């Protein structure tokens, strides 16, 4: 692999942009290729087999563009498709998921004894966070809650309306907030409503953690270990692809990366793998 090769990132939609932005801030010299599978969003209500199929297709698309690493910037895909991507592609590229780096951040904070986990149905039903957290820190207590309305709400820009606060509050009230030291946002969409969550939890003094920065840090570490961290700034613009163009994605991408970006539509779900 070439250290000047791009980094591939994918998600079902705009959530992965929070991870892409964290990677750009930590490693501005790198070129990114982002794929948003907007034709199939949200992944959280899809079957594990469907999510694995989408993830393998997208990863092949990114590898065909020479990516030296693939970042699964989606907790649902990370929870159910990471092993499949490792089995298919680990001999050709570095594969990073969104779950393990966030788990590492939770476990490394010795002040966290009880953590709430909110995410999509696919992520919560997989049990990945609770299982891995128990493996890493057996004394840690977890409370998991599926919050299936949040990712579609964010994709459709409803998080910018007052009604979103009521929906978020309704979910949070299902958790034993008085017992929590931290709340893990186990969906890469959720950093986009982190301020609203923080406002609702201000009286509880609960630490709020998400995947974006931990994933970027893990990726940089892996690139350094493999001698693949780019030294010189890329003269190529980052590339953005969607399986179905949406106005909300364009607005969100421009918010993070500026109005000069070009978003391409790519039909990658036909033909043989």
**Mean pLDDT across 119-128:** 96
**Mean pLDDT across 81-95:** 96
Q: Where in the chain is the domain with CATH 3.40.50.1860?
A: 7-97+213-265, 100-211
CATH code, 7-97+213-265? 3.40.50.1860
Q: Is the dihedral of CA 25, 26, 31, 32 positive or negative?
A: negative
**Mean pLDDT across 92-114:** 97
* pLDDT-above-90 percentage for the chain: 82
Are residues 82 and 97 in contact, defined by beta-carbon separation less than 8 angstroms? yes
Q: What is the pLDDT of residue 160?
A: 59
**H/E/C letters for each residue in the chain?**
CCCCCCEEEEECCCCHHHHHHHHHHHCCCCCEEEEECCCCCCHHHCCHHHHHHHHHHHHHHHHHCCCCEEEECCHHHHHHHHHHHHHHHCCCCEEECCHHHHHHHHHHCCCCCEEEEEECHHHHHHCHHHHHHHHHCCCCEEEEEECCCHHHHHHCCHHHCCHHHHHHHHHHCCCCHHHCCEEEEECCCHHHHHHHHHHHHHHHCCEEEECHHHHHHHHHHHHHHCCCCCCCCCCCCCEEEECCCCHHHHHHHHHHHCCCCCEEECCCCCCCC
100-211: CATH topology is Rossmann fold (3.40.50)
Starting at the edge strand that comes first in sequence, how are the strands of the sheet with 207-210 ordered?
A: 141-146, 114-119, 182-186, 207-210
**Mean pLDDT across 18-37:** 97
Reported as a single tens digit per residue, the pLDDT across 155-183 is: 887 655 666 899 999 999 999 999 999 99
* pLDDT-above-70 percentage for the chain: 97
Q: What is the pLDDT of residue 111?
A: 96
Q: What is the pLDDT of residue 245?
A: 87
Q: What is the pLDDT of residue 163?
A: 66
Contacts of 12 (CB under 8 A, 6+ apart): 36, 37, 38, 40, 41, 42, 43, 54, 74, 76, 77, 151
pTM: 0.94
Are residues 101 and 71 in contact, defined by beta-carbon separation less than 8 angstroms? no
Rg, Å, the chain Cα set: 18
Residues catalogued as catalytic: 74, 187
- Rounded to 10 degrees, the C-alpha dihedral 208/229/97/198 comes to 10
Are residues 197 and 177 in contact, defined by beta-carbon separation less than 8 angstroms? no
Q: What is the pLDDT of residue 266?
A: 94
Reported as a single tens digit per residue, the pLDDT across 223-254 is: 999 999 999 888 788 999 999 988 888 888 88
pLDDT at 18 over 80: yes
Q: What is the pLDDT of residue 273?
A: 46
Distance CA 120, CA 115 (A): 17
Mean pLDDT rounded to a whole number for the chain: 93
49: pLDDT confidence band, cut at 50, 70 and 90? very high
């Amino acid at each position: 692999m070439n250290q000047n090769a791009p980094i591939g990132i994918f998600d079902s939609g705009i959530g992965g942009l929070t991870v892409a932005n964290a990677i750009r801030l930590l490693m501005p010299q790198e070129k990114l290729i982002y794929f948003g599978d907007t034709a199939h969003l949200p992944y959280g209500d899809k079957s594990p087999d469907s999510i694995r199929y989408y993830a393998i297709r997208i990863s092949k698309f990114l590898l065909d563009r020479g990516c030296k690493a693939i970042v699964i910037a989606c907790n649902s895909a990370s929870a159910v498709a990471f092993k499949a991507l490792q089995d298919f592609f680990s001999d050709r590229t570095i594969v990073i998921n969104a779950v393990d780096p966030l788990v590492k951040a939770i476990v490394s904070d010795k002040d966290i004894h009880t953590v709430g986990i909110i995410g999509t149905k696919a992520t919560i039903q997989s049990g990945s966070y609770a299982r891995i957290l128990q493996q890493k820190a057996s004394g840690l207590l977890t409370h998991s809650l599926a919050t299936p309305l949040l990712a579609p709400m964010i994709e459709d820009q409803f998080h910018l309306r007052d009604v979103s606060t009521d929906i978020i509050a309704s979910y949070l009230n299902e958790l034993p907030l008085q017992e929590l030291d931290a709340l893990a946002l186990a969906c890469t969409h959720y950093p986009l409503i982190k301020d609203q969550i923080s406002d609702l939890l201000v009286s509880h003094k609960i630490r709020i953690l998400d995947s974006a920065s931990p994933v970027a840090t893990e990726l940089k570490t892996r690139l350094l270990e493999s001698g693949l961290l780019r030294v010189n700034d890329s003269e190529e613009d980052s590339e953005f692809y969607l399986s179905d163009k949406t106005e909300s994605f364009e607005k969100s991408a421009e918010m993070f990366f500026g109005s000069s970006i070009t978003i391409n539509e790519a039909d990658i779900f036909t033909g043989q793998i």
